Structure 1
Amino acid sequence: MMFDIIKVVLIAMLMGFGSASEEQHRLINFLFNSSRYNPVVRPVVNESDNVDIRVEIELDQISDVDEKYQTLKAIIWLTQRWVDEYMTWDPADYNGLEEIRVPSDLLWLPDTIMYNTKSEGSNDPLMTVYTKVIVKYTGNVDWSAPLTMISSCMVNVHLYPFDVQDCDIKFGSWQHDKRFIDYEIGKVPETMLNLNGEWDVLVITGVRTDRTYVCCKGKFYPDVTFNIKIKRKPLFYVVNLIVPCVVISTMAIVEFVLPCNSGEKVSLGITVLLSMTVFMLVIAENMPATSDSIPILARFYVVTIFLVSFSTVMTVLVLNLHHRTYKLPRWIRHVFLEVLAGVLCMRDHIALPSQPTFYKSDQTQFELVPSIGGDRNATNEVKDEALLMTTEFMDVSENGGYRDGVNKDSYKNSTARLNRLLVELLGNVKFMAHRCQEKDHEENKKLEWQMVAKVVDRFFLIIYIICVVTMDFIMFLQINSMEKTHRMTVEDE
C-alpha cells in the first residue's frame, strides 16, 4: 500500500501536477496500478512468450580512436523498441489520447548491456539512463537515450596512417536467453551525424547472432552487433610525419654532395640518423605494443633509417679512399677511373695527374754535400770566385796574357775551386729537384685516390637515390592496393 502511494505521488510530481490533462491522470492511474502492473515482471500475458527488442543506433560523433589501447569512444543515440502487453488502452476512452511520455523507471526495461565495453564504469550509463519513454496505446514502447560508449576495437595498424578500421558495438541481454528476450536489428544509419576531423564513416552494418556460452550450456543468448567501418584522414600525418621524414631522408643526398675536405660528411649523416630516430619514437608511442603487424609508416621509417645508416657507412668508405696515399693498383684504375667513370659520365670531371716535368738525372740518389760556413757562405764564395775568374779572364783576353801578380798556377787553383763549388751547388739543385719530383709523385698518388673516391661517391649517390625512389614507389603501391580493396569491400556491402 505504501509503495502505491509513493508511486502515485512520484507520477504526479513528474507530470507537473496541473500540467497534465484529466485523461492523462486517469490513464496513468489505470496503467500503473500496482494490482495491474509491476515493472520487474516481463510485460507478457503468456509466460511462454518472449519479448522482441528492436535495437537501433544513430552514430552522433566519434570522439576518439585510441590505437595504443585499441578502444573506440563514440557518442550514439541508442533506441530500443518493444511491445508491453500491459501498456494498452482504447484512445476513445481517454479523449483520443494515443501516446504518453513517462519516466523510464516506471516501466519494465530490458537488461541490455554492451558486451565489449571498456569503460571504467562498465555498463552503468546504459543501465541507469533516466530519459522518458514513449508509450503508445498499442503497447509499443520506444526508449531512446544519448550515450557515450567506449568499446573495444581491434585496431589494424598495418596501413597506418592510411588505415581503415572495423569497430564493433555488441548489445545483448545479460540474464535472459532467447526464450525470454529476443533481439532484432532495426534501422541502421549510413553515416554519423556530426563530422569528425580525423575519421570518416564509410558504412555501418548490423548483424544478429545466437550464441552459447560455457556457463550456460543449452541456452542461446541473442545479440546484435553493429559494425562501424571508419577511414582515417591522413592529411595531419602526411604533414607532420611523412613530409619531415622525406625531407630528412633527402638531406642524406647532401651528404654525398658535400666535399670530402669539408670534414662534415659523417657529422651530417649522424645528425640525420638521430632526427629519424626521434620521429620513430614518436610513432612508437602512439602504436599498440603488438607484433601482429608493423605499420607501413613505421616500416617506412625503419627502411629510411637503414638507408641513412648505409649512406653514413658509404661516406666513411669514401673518406677512407680519399685519404689514401699509396700507389693506386691497376685494376682499381681500370674499374673506377676508366669503366665506372665512363658509365657515370664523369670522364670530364676527373683530373688525372700529368707527367712530371722536373729534370731527371742518371743518378738514383742525391745527397747534400756539406759546405764550410753553411749554404749561404758557399753561395757567396761561388759568387766571389766567379767574379774573380771573370775579371782575370777579361784581363787575359785584353792583354793577351795574365794580369800582373796573377800567375798561371793561381788561376788554375781558382778555376778548380770554382768548379768544386759549382759541382756542389749543382748537387744541391739536383737534390731539391729530386725531392720536388718525389713530392709530385706523392701528390699524384693522392690525386688518383681522390678521383677514385669521387667516382665511388657518385656511384653511392645513385644507389641511394634508386633505393629511396624504389621504397617510396613500393609504399605507394601498397597503399593504393589496400585502398582499392577497401573500396571494393564497401561497394559490396
Structure 2
Amino acid sequence: MGWSGCSSVKAKMTLTKLMMCLVLIPAAAFARNPKSAEGRIRDYILNQPDYSPRERPVLNSNLSVNVNIQVQIYGMLDLNEKDQTVTIASWTQLSWRDERLTWNPNDFEGVLCVVVYFDEIWTPRILLSNAMSFEGLQVVSANRGTILLYCDGTVFLGTSFVQCTQCAMKFRNFPFDTQSCQLVFSPENQSKQQINFTASDPRMPSSIVSNEWDFVGFSSYNNEHINTFVESDESSYISTFGIFSFQLKRDPNYYITTIVIPSTLLCLMSYATFLAPPDSGERIGLGVSMVLGLTVFQLLVTNILPTASKNGPIISTYLSNTFVLSCLAVPFSLFNITIAYGDSKMTILKHGRIRMFLLELLPRVMCLPSYQERFDGERNDNARSQIVKKEGEMVTISPVEVISKNKLQPWSSPAVTEAESLSTLEKRKLEARTLGLVMDRLVLLCFLVAYTIIVINTFARFYHSPEEVA
C-alpha cells in the first residue's frame, strides 16, 4: 500500500511538469518572437469566422459597391495603322471600400495601412472590353499588382500592364491628323445594383517617348449599357463602365520631307520639258525619265501611306493628280514636236485671224519671236550668205557686196529679190516651228494653272475638313 501510493504521487508530479512545459514553451517562443501590429491586424480582420472573400464587401445586400478606377499612361509601344490597334503601358488603380475590414488604429500601435493579397479579400472582376488579347482582358490579376488596406476599410489596388486595344482611326487629314483611342473598362457580368463602376479624372502622361506621336489630351467619362441575354425585359440589366480617351497628334515633318516635297519637285521637273526646244533630242527622254521616277516614288509611298478604303487621305488625291499631270506631259510633248516638224500645211493657219492670233499675238504675249520676226531674220540671213556664180565657178561673197550689188538697205529693204525670198517649204517650216514653240508655252501655262488649282484645292480641303477624331 505504501509503495503504490508513492508511485501514484510521482506519476502525478511528472504529469504536472509535462503540462507546465507544454504551456511555458510556446509562451517562451512567443516572448522571443512576438507578432507585429500588422500581423495582429491581419489576424483580427482576416480570421473572422463570417468573412468570405467571395461575398461583396457591403453589410447591406441592397447596396452597390462603388468601385473607382484611375489610369495613367507612361508609355506607348506601338500604333499599328493597318490593324488599327494601339499598344500602351499604363498604371491602373482601383479603389473601393470594404465595410467588413475595419479596425481602430489606437488598438494596434497606430497602424493605418496593411498589405493584403488577392485571395484574402474580395476584389472586383474588371474587364478591358476593347482589348485585343486574352492576357489584357483581365485587369485584376493575382500575378501583378499589390493591395493596400486602410483602417476605414478603403482598398487601393494598383496594377501595371501592357494593353493592346482596338483604336478606330481616320486618315483623311493625314499627315496632319489627330487620332483618339479609348480604354473601355467594365465589370464582368455585374449590374449597376451590384457594382457602380466609375472612372475618375486621369493624370496626363509625364514622359511619353514617341518619334511620331504627341499626347495632346487625356479625358474620362462614364456611361451605362443595357445588357440583354434573351429577348425579354426580365433578363436585361444595366451595367456601368468607364471610358478613358487619349488623343494623339501626328508629327507631319517626316512625311512632308519624304512625300510632299519630292513629289512636288518631280512633278514640276516633268513640266520643265516644255522649256526645252522641240529639236532637242533629250526632250522625250527627259519626260519619260520623270514619269518613271515618279512611278517608282509612288510605289515607295504606297508603303508609307495608311490604308483606308473609305475617306482616304487628302494627300493621296494630291499625289494621284500630280502623277496624272506628269504622265500627260509626255503625249503633249510628242504632239508639240509633231506640230513643230510637220511637213504639211496646217489647216488652222488658213484663217487670217487665227493665223494672226497664233503666229503674231501669242508669241509676243509669251515673250517669243513672232512669225514675221523669224521670217525677217531668215530672209536677212539668206541675204548675208548669198552664193552667186561668177565666171563659171561658185564664189561666196560677203553680205556687204550682196547688198551693194542689189542696192539694198540692210535689214530694211522693202524690195525682195528672188535670191532673198524664202521657198514655200521654208516658210511652212518656219510657221510650224513658231506654232510649236507657242504651243509649248501655252501647254506649260495650262499645266502650271492646273497644278496651282490642285494645290489650292488640297489646301482648301485640309482647311475646311473638320478635325476627324476617331
1: CA distance between counterparts of 2:435 and 2:33? 98
Tell me which residue corresponds to 1:260: 278
Quick one: distance in 1 between partners of 2:35 and 2:431? 107
Shift of residue 106, structure 1, vs aligned partner: 3.1
Alignment of 1:190-229 (within 5 A): 190-191=204-205, 193-215=207-229, 217-229=235-247
Q: What is the SS of the residue equivalent to 2:236? A: strand
SS in 1 for 2:374: coil
* Cα drift, residue 80 of structure 1: 1.0
**Which residue among 161, 182, 199 is the counterpart of 1:147?**
161
CA-based RMSD? 3.2
CA contact (8 A) 2:221 2:242 kept: yes
Paired residues of 1:260 and 1:322 also in contact (CA < 8 A): yes
SS in 1 for 2:297: helix
SS of corresponding position for 2:192: coil
What letter corresponds to residue 60 of structure 2 in structure 1? N
Which letter maps to 1:65?
A: L
Inter-partner Cα distance in structure 1 for 2:277 and 2:196? 78
In structure 2, what is the equivalent of residue 111 of structure 1? 125
Is 1:330 aligned with 2:350?
Answer: yes
| Cα distance change of structure 1 residues 53 and 153 upon mapping to structure 2, 3 Å threshold | same
Tell me the distance in 2 between the aligned counterparts of 1:235 and 1:146: 33
Distance in 1, matches of 2:63 and 2:242, equals: 20
5+ residue gaps, structure 1: 1-17, 360-378, 381-433
Choose which of 382, 404, 426 in structure 2 pairs with 1:443: 426
Alpha carbons of 1:438 and 1:242: their partners in 2 closer, same or farther (altered >3 Å)?
Answer: same
Residues of 1 paired with 2:319 and 2:350: CA distance? 41
Instruction: Kindly name which structure, 1 or 2, has the bigger radius of gyration based on alpha carbons.
Output: 1
TM-score (norm 2): 0.76
Other structure's SS at 2:247 match: strand
TM-score (norm 1): 0.73
* Alpha-carbon distance in structure 1 between the residues aligned to 2:463 and 2:34: 62
Deviating beyond 6 angstroms after TM superposition, the runs of 4 or more aligned structure 1 residues are 18-21, 355-359, 436-439
Q: Point out the structure with the larger helix share.
A: 1
Which residue number corresponds to residue 450 of structure 2?
A: 467
Distance 1:322 1:214, change over 3 A: farther
1:64 and 1:350 mapped to 2: Cα distance?
69
CA separation of 1:313 and 1:107: change in aligned 2, threshold 3 A? farther
Q: Give how far 1:293 is off.
A: 0.6
Pair 1:126–1:261, CA change in 2 (3 A): farther
Change in CA separation of 1:20 and 1:266 when aligned onto 2, cut-off 3 Å: farther
2:113 is matched with: 99
Structure 1 pair 75–473 and aligned structure 2 pair: CA distance change class (3 A): same
Task: From 96, 108, 123, give the equivalent of 1:82.
Answer: 96
Alpha-carbon distance change, 89 to 123 in structure 1, aligned in 2, over 3 angstroms: same
Secondary structure at the aligned position of 2:338 is classed as helix
Tell me which of 320, 336, 339 is aligned to 1:321. 339
**CA offsets 1:322-376 (integer angstroms, 9 cap, x no match):** 22111242345333212322332324698533486999xxxxxxxxxxxxxxxxx
Cα drift, residue 157 of structure 1? 0.4
Q: In 1, distance between residues paired with 2:43 and 2:61?
A: 25
Deviation at 1:195, TM superposition (A): 4.0
- Could you tell me which residue of structure 2 aligns to residue 367 of structure 1? none
Return closer, same or farther for 1:76/1:263 CA change in 2, 3 Å cut-off.
same
Offset from partner CA, 1:274-317 (integer Å, 9 cap, x none): 33333333443355554321102211111111111222232122
C-alpha separation between the residues in 1 aligned to 2:81 and 2:163? 16
- In the other structure, the counterpart of 1:476 is 459
- Closer/same/farther in 2, CA of residues 210 and 47 from structure 1, 3 Å limit: same
Q: Is this contact kept in 1: 2:118–2:142, CA < 8 A?
A: no
- Letter of the aligned partner of 2:222 in structure 1? R
Tell me the distance in 2 between the aligned counterparts of 1:285 and 1:341: 46
Deviations 1:74-98 (A, max 9, x none): 1221111111222211111110000
Kept in 1: contact 2:277–2:437 (CA 8 A):
no
CA separation of 1:74/1:54 partners in 2, compared to 1, >3 Å: closer, same or farther?
A: same
